[in-house]
Amino acid sequence: MNSQEFAEKINEYIVDENLILYKKLFFNTKIEDVKDPYWQKAQSLFDSLPEENKEVFFEIIHQIMVDTISTFLGVLDGTSDLGEADDEFNLKNGDEALDGCIQDYFLSLIEQNRKK
């Protein structure tokens, strides 16, 4: 798997599939069935939103996932740092090093998907 394929898999399996999962959870969960206090608050917030704002809610979740993954990929690529740390990271698939453009591939893919 090369860097571009890796970015595509991250988008498909982390961003897209998790967004689908969140939508299913929020739309299909009844607040009285929720035991976890954090999830109760989240479900209560979602349930209180007018229908037209529920899609905005998921757009915000999507953007948070994209920003977080992009920053992490930037650290792996060497284009972002971890504060004052001087560490260099190398991501490999087997013995083959992935190039330092995973963040670029990922963000390009996100941009292409927005235009669809």
Q: What are the tens digits of pLDDT across the range 57-111? A: 999 999 999 999 999 999 888 888 888 777 778 888 888 888 889 999 999 999 9
pLDDT tens, position by position, 25-63: 999 999 999 999 999 999 999 999 999 999 999 999 999
Q: Tell me which residue of 76, 75, 67 sits closest to 98, measured CA to CA.
A: 76
Q: pTM for this structure?
A: 0.88
The 3-state DSSP class for residue 106 equals helix
Q: Specify burial of residue 4 (Cβ count, 10 A radius: 0-12, 13-18, 19+).
A: middle
Q: Which of 59, 80, 82, 74 is nearest to 107 (CA)?
A: 74
**CA–CA separation, 15 vs 12, rounded Å?**
6
Q: Is 107 helix (H, G, I), strand (E, B) or coil?
A: helix
Which residues does 91 contact at the CB level (< 8 Å), separation at least 6? 6, 76, 97, 98, 102
